[in-house]
Structure 1
Amino acid sequence: MEAKIGYQIFPDRFYSYYNRGNVKWNTPIIAENYSAHTMYGGDLKGIQEKIDYLKELNVDFLYLTPIFEANSNHRYDAKDYFKIDPILGDEKDLKELIDALHKNNIELCLDIALNHMSNESKWFKSALKGGKEKNFFRYENDDFTYWRDHKTLVELNLENHDLQKLLWQDENSAMKKWMKLGVDHWRLDCAYDLGFDILKDVVKHIKSLGENHYIIGEVWSYPKEWIQVMDGIMNYYYTVIIKNMLNGSLKPKIAAEILKKTIKDSGMKILKSWNMLSSHDSPRIKNLFGDKWKLAIVMQFTLPGSPLIYYGEELGMEGGHDPFCRGAMQWENVKEGNKTLSFYKKLIKLFKDSEALRKGCYYEVISNDEDILAYYRKYKSIRDGKLIVINPTNKDKEIQLYFEESLLLDAMHLFDHFSDNELYIEMGSVKGKIPANSFGIFHMKPKEYNTYSAYKRL
């Protein structure tokens, strides 16, 4: 099992090829003038046009928020699961995008909201007239039920066997239709609403097309039980730990204890889960973490899991809560000298070059200072082991660290990938300094002698 790097795209805001939007691309989002019907015109062909950029960024998979015909720009209110929204393109555009992605070794994950659909769908209009589709929708207390009481999002009766066949079970079901076109994986919107039995059945039928297809669920809670049912989750549990530790409301020592238990309970399947910091549902990273944004991203890339980059974060895009986190991609900032982009590229390369970060186990590191978070990742060789140290305080720290690595010999030094900082070995422990509001990703390197190596038989 191996972690991969993902890239999330909100299709309407990435790149427009057909120019079918109703506002210009550089139009700022102004809350009082904004609605779910504001279309910037991003489309599938536009994504295909930018594959060279994604390839250069070196991501492994692309995650698109919903692309099915809908009544909004977010498209979580699907009107027809079997049809692509015409503003985005058609099946030919999707097939060409899939083929171009696969040619560049990039997988595609689509998003589907199985819990609810648009109140303007043909199925629901028939249900309102007493048609057979009435059984497709949840009905309680003499009324249909709606997701969080939004009247545009009517909930589906997923216990209905005919509906199950239409959505995921039959060979010509909606989910299997798109997979046969070449879609690799699925993200399940509101997976927490589906329940364990429905989730198990969806996974079983999707896996019937091949074990290499995986299901990731949107879950905003402790991973343990959910990760046993699906291949992974959107790990917002990590997000809240990182956020609270960096804003000072959670002691790093306590954060370390929570992380250790979470990762142990989740097992190695956590490598498939998406390490989240921001998305279309939350403020962007720089808005959320301020001047500690680099510390947050380092944790995103070094904790066990698959880092998911929300489009534009690598360029330094900012934005508050929805709708401001859904701004149009700032292509003008793809240029030499963009320090945020350079930082991301260096971190991505480190991740891709390191088996420890992609496959390695997580080891607790005990610090002499409760304000320091440290942990260790290792797969096979100590030479690829990574010691991550985070100092979220405003003070420089003298640190001494203790962890389960028997090959930390006095002939070893530890060097930071991102600075000239160096740590030293003292009888199996690690000591040195870490500056205020900084991080280190340290790798092991034996001290050089002319002829001697302490690792000659290790």
Structure 2
Amino acid sequence: MSTFLFDSRDDRCKTPFGAVPTDDVVTFRVFLPISYQLREPALLVYKADRWDSPERIPMHYEASDGVSCSYTCIFYSPDPQLYFYLFEVAGVNGKMRIARDQDGFGVLLPQGGEMWQLTVYDKAMRAPEFMKNGILYQIFPDRFCASGGAKSGVPSDRRLHRDWYELPEYLPDRNGEVTNSDYFGGDLRGITQKLTYLKSMGVGTIYLNPIFEAHSNHRYNTADFLRIDPLLGTEEDLRELCARAKALGIRVILDGVFNHTGADSVYFNKKRRYGNGGAYNDPQSPYRSWYEFTNYPNGYQSWWGFQELPNLNERDPSYGEFICGENGVLRKWLADGISGWRLDVADELPDEFLDRVAACVKGADPDAAVIGEVWEDASTKVAYGIRRRYFLGGQLDSVMNYPFRDAIIAYVRHGDCNRLYSTLLSILEHYPKPVLDVLMNSLSTHDIERAITALAGEPISGGRDWQAHNNTLSPEKYALGKKLFMLASVIQYMLPGVPCLYYGDEAGLYGYKDPFNRTCYPWGREDPELIQFFRTLGAIRSGCPALSSGSFSAVSFTPEVVSFLRDCGGESYYVAVNRTPSEQPAVLPMEFKDAAVLYGSLGADGLLPPYGAAILVLR
């Protein structure tokens, strides 16, 4: 390998692998081919966005094999910081650089080039331990289970469906507006009634989409942060849900929508539902400073221009105290028994607000979770021109891991093994270990099409009318989507992090984007094969909590078969998935020849069946 220079994922070149805590020493090693006549290598380390002043660390000769000479140096940082690095060498015609090519390997260039990333995080970071136990289950509260109990205080303008199994309304009203004002009546007591079912799926954490009073079925337009929406139940219902769940080893986290409220809210009150006060009606309102008016009262900042979602000013002291204060929103609901928060649109929350949210939550419960909605690589995210520091310490414990989801779907549907491999290794290399252990790994959510549709449906090429017309899958497409979904789920459940199951996926629900991905759980009409499949996967995850944190290594990534290993504290797992309709050979490490089969099958000849998978374990 005379042209091998550097590979950040090879322990000959960099140890330890990936992100490191503060004060940990990182050893770098480059291999310079003797024939290239290179000398005086140095490591150039840049703080993120400070590209004019790198730290230059000379590298020292170590050894030669007659083909290449190895040079080494060390680096450490006492401060949490995002770094980028490459190498400088002296060549026969002047200085050159060893930079990163598109596959992550070192390449010799006269100038420029991509850099490798090194995340140095606060060594005090700790993952919420409860999230490592079992899977995470996401519930859209209006659509999971209706207890049938009486409700009081429900606004008279709510429209309730009579048929639990019909599609949600998707057409605009006569004014051309999509109001999301139809409801099915799912509630907190209904969730409590199904806790035993959730436990049978291996659920360790329930993530609830918003439950506070709001005047839409999705409830992302909060009307009152201090009150449970009356159609969902009462504060006592939430306390009971949390208590009964905890008795079964299940925790509950809530969706915190702190970037905006509804225009129809106690705080803004544009429709005067809450009397004559509110920031929209009264310049002297105590909530006036929470909002940014450009031309009072009708000109105001709103989320992505939606006038029904006026933006909040998170830097306002009064609003900050309301959310994060000693008697604020965060502590109130933590005291009622929840175990953490998922923060909606985290990219739009300023750093100082996230700092305060995290400090408040951890101050109330050091093991509580703070999860951010971030769609990209959150370790290096730039939002609105600002480099975010989500993972350096003191902010987020985890994020919704959409990069994994997109790569898994692309592989299982299209065979894009390069994307899957590069995405997995990139996230594993960039994210702190405490974050990796509790990454929220979903295949479906309330914001994207459900997995079966993503894997077997027509690619989206239109709006709600098109999606409604194409939403129903033929029996043949459903059967294919189901097979592919099971394969995708094997990958999802066996990767580092926490598998997140979106309610109803395990029962065979499918659908395009909102509202077709928000149909009701099909109680009594579930797909029994899928139910049993997810119970099996849930039992595997619950039976080995170390799967959330064990090491990952690739065995083989091809367009037909992907296989990898997980080493978890005395146990080793081999995972292989065949995404094709024909038998395919799997690359099986010799030590797994007589391993126990936990799921699926692998023939004596090493063949995986069509659309087949296998999970093997060595103990």
Whether these two folds match at TM > 0.5 is yes
Aligned 8 A contact 1:415 1:421 in 2: no
355, 360, 366: which is aligned to 2:550? 360
- Secondary structure of the 1:237 match is helix
Q: CA RMSD in A?
A: 2.4
Q: Structure 1 CA distance, aligned partners of 2:431 and 2:453? A: 30
Q: Structure 2 CA distance, aligned partners of 1:301 and 1:47? A: 23
1:32-47 alignment to 2 at 5 Å? Answer: 32=171, 35-47=179-191
Match of residue 137 from structure 2: 7
Question: How many pairs align?
Answer: 425
Match of residue 136 from structure 1: 290
Q: Structure 2 CA distance, aligned partners of 1:87 and 1:174? A: 20
Aligned 8 A contact 1:227 1:233 in 2: no
- Confirm or deny that 1:201 pairs with 2:356: yes
249, 258, 267: which is aligned to 2:432? 267
Match of residue 332 from structure 2: 177
- Confirm or deny that 1:443 pairs with 2:617: yes
Q: Structure 2 CA distance, aligned partners of 1:122 and 1:327? A: 29
Percent identity of paired positions between Structure 1 and Structure 2: 28
1:223-302 alignment to 2 at 5 Å? Answer: 223-225=378-380, 226-228=390-392, 229-248=395-414, 251-268=416-433, 269-290=435-456, 291=480, 292-302=484-494
Deviations for 1:421-455, whole angstroms, at most 9, x for unmatched residues?
Answer: 1478xxxxxxx33344332222237xxxxxxxxxx
Match of residue 263 from structure 2: 119
Q: Structure 1 CA distance, aligned partners of 2:555 and 2:141? A: 41
512, 520, 526: which is aligned to 1:328? 520
Provide structure 1 residue ranges, at least 5 long, that are not aligned to the other structure. 403-407, 425-431, 446-458
Aligned 8 A contact 1:67 1:75 in 2: yes
How many Å apart are 1:366 and its aligned residue? 4.1
- Confirm or deny that 1:316 pairs with 2:508: yes
Match of residue 454 from structure 1: none
How many Å apart are 1:355 and its aligned residue? 4.3
How many Å apart are 1:35 and its aligned residue? 4.5
How many Å apart are 1:354 and its aligned residue? 2.3
Q: Structure 2 CA distance, aligned partners of 1:155 and 1:192? A: 14
Bigger share in helix: 1
- Secondary structure of the 2:358 match is helix
How many Å apart are 1:227 and its aligned residue? 3.8
Q: Counterpart amino acid of 1:12?
A: D
Provide structure 2 residue ranges, at least 5 long, that are not aligned to the other structure. 1-126, 152-158, 173-177, 270-277, 381-389, 457-479
Change (3 A) 1:57 1:399: closer
| Structure number, greater radius of gyration | 2
Match of residue 427 from structure 1: none
Match of residue 23 from structure 1: 161
How many Å apart are 1:330 and its aligned residue? 1.2
Match of residue 237 from structure 2: 93
Q: Counterpart amino acid of 1:294?
A: M
TM-score, scaled to structure 2: 0.65
How many Å apart are 1:418 and its aligned residue? 2.5
How many Å apart are 1:350 and its aligned residue? 1.0
- Confirm or deny that 1:375 pairs with 2:547: no
How many Å apart are 1:412 and its aligned residue? 4.4
How many Å apart are 1:371 and its aligned residue? 4.3
Q: Counterpart amino acid of 2:368?
A: H
Deviations for 1:34-70, whole angstroms, at most 9, x for unmatched residues?
Answer: 8411011111122222222222333111111111111
Aligned 8 A contact 2:555 2:587 in 1: no
585, 591, 608: which is aligned to 1:398? 585
- Secondary structure of the 2:376 match is coil
Q: Structure 2 CA distance, aligned partners of 1:138 and 1:365? A: 54
Q: Structure 1 CA distance, aligned partners of 2:164 and 2:559? A: 46
Change (3 A) 1:371 1:223: farther
- Secondary structure of the 2:327 match is coil
Q: Structure 2 CA distance, aligned partners of 1:16 and 1:394? A: 40
Match of residue 105 from structure 2: none
Q: Structure 2 CA distance, aligned partners of 1:223 and 1:378? A: 25
- Secondary structure of the 1:443 match is strand
Q: Counterpart amino acid of 2:541?
A: F
78, 102, 113: which is aligned to 2:246? 102
Change (3 A) 1:301 1:227: farther
Q: Counterpart amino acid of 2:569?
A: K
Q: Structure 2 CA distance, aligned partners of 1:141 and 1:241? A: 45
Q: Structure 1 CA distance, aligned partners of 2:309 and 2:537? A: 39
How many Å apart are 1:315 and its aligned residue? 1.1
